[in-house]
Structure 1
Amino acid sequence: MAAKSTTASTDLSVLPEDNTAYGTKEYWQQRYMQEDASTFDWFKTYKDLEPLLSKHIGSKDVRILMLGCGNSTLSSDMYDDGYQNIINVDYSDVVIEQMRQRTQQQSGMTWEVMDVRALDLGDGSVDVAIDKGTLDALMCDKGDVWEPSAEMCENVAREVNEVDRVLIAGGKFIWITFGQPHFRRRHLERPSWELQIERLNDGGFDYFVYIATKKQAAPPTH
């Protein structure tokens, strides 16, 4: 059975007292055990994102990596719309097993326990990588948003560098976030890709979509 495409209301008991908990595996393990059969989507659902994803992904035959998939409905809804080669990764074995069970009939998808900062995937093995809220969780920090801590920057850089590594030339990293460019852009800039930013307005609240396209390798010189 496919995962439900409705978004569960937030149970306030699963919210942390300190937002830095969003960056810890322990918090998510406990939360997913509490939520069990629930689904939850940060920021946007596939219905909201479909025009943008269709524009930037193009072919539905591409191999998609869903980073920090959690119990979002995004992958399941994309699968039902024809994107059937999706690898979902999360460092919570609890949620990975839950999602495997819920999507048994969606046989083209795989669910793997994996840390987005150390992906067990080959170089150039993915066409598109999507992050919807995972980097934001890593960015929950006690420091000043203008001067984030070195530890936070390192964690974010590890994920972004891993995405850069596993993307094919011409592949795309798509990050959906509420983070404004003057806070977020610096974490994505790499000489290996071209970065563009789109804005989604939702009744006065802006979301941002960062699209990094990996450059083709330069031809060898003689």
Structure 2
Amino acid sequence: MVASTSLNVVPEDPTAYKTKEYWEQRYQQESPDTTFDWFKTHEELKPLFQGCIPHKDASILILGCGNSTLGEDMYRDGYKNITNIDYSGTVIENMKKRCEDMPDMKWLEMDIRALEFENESFDIIIDKGTMDALMCDRGDVWDPSEELVAEVKKEVDEVERVLKVGGSFIYITFGQPHFRKRHLVRDCWQVKTQTLGDAFHYFFYSMQKEKPSTPSS
């Protein structure tokens, strides 16, 4: 595997991160063996995951998987029931080929704002930097636009819908609580935050669903 270090993947306009076109073009230009991990690797996150994921048989959904090694590393660590989704068809096909030796793992092209799963389908849902891409905006970070708030709400509403009661939503980001927590608050869970890192802090949000979702009006 080859880690992506090229500055060519960084768009001049950061709002490009919100578009499917940017990711399709990026993954079409990169080798199928290229990997890129936002924030931390599974090995670094493992102690935190162990506190949220009750058993290795848990059904896990990874949102916006990209070409991160997270799913592969978790699979090798014994988590076999993993579904990875991304709205780039190119990266999904690349990852299917790269992980041919992991037949139980699923790779699906899908939008995180419109999940094609039944209600309460997963024990664990993980977002490692994916929501951050939706938040790439030129507006005021203290006063996000109505469009941005609506887009993020779609993701979190879908997570709430397909997460089982008793299951956990895990979100890893550089986004500080005063910027992120407002988007995560729901009646069915409490938002717990851990601050990690030394020179550069990152944040591990965990939310355990305590009751069924309230149907949207």
TM range (shorter): over 0.9
Q: Counterpart amino acid of 1:169?
A: V
d(CA) in 1 for partners of 2:65 and 2:167? 19
Counterpart for residue 28 of structure 1:
23
SS at match of 1:108: coil
The alignment yields a C-alpha RMSD, in angstroms, of 1.2
Q: Deviations over 1:53-99 (max 9, x none)?
A: 01111201000000000000000000000001000000000000000
Structure 2 gap segments, 5+ residues each: none
- State the match for 2:42 in structure 1: 46
Counterpart check, 1:183 vs 2:179: yes
Give the aligned partner of residue 213 of structure 1.
Answer: 208
* 1:97-136 mapped onto 2 (5 Å cutoff): 97-136=93-132
| Map of 2:8 onto structure 1 | 13
Task: Tell me by how many angstroms 1:36 deviates.
Answer: 2.4
Query: In structure 1, what is the Cα distance between the partners aligned to 2:136 and 2:186?
Result: 22
- Give the TM-score, by structure 2 length: 0.95
Displacement after TM superposition at 1:216 (Å): 3.1
> What's the counterpart of residue 142 of structure 1?
138
Superposed, 1:39-78 pairs within 5 Å as 39-78=35-74
Amino acid of the residue matched to residue 145 of structure 1? V
User: Which AA in structure 1 matches 2:113?
Assistant: R
- 1:168 corresponds to which residue? 164
SS in 2 for 1:158: helix
Q: Indicate the SS of the match to 2:83.
A: strand
TM-score (norm 1): 0.93
* 1:14–1:34 CA contact under 8 A, matched in 2: no
Shift of 1:34: 1.2
Where 2:3 maps in the other structure, the secondary structure is coil
For residue 15 of structure 1, what is the amino acid of its counterpart? Answer: V
Structure 1: gaps spanning 5 or more residues: none
SS in 1 for 2:85: strand
Percent identity between the two aligned chains: 57
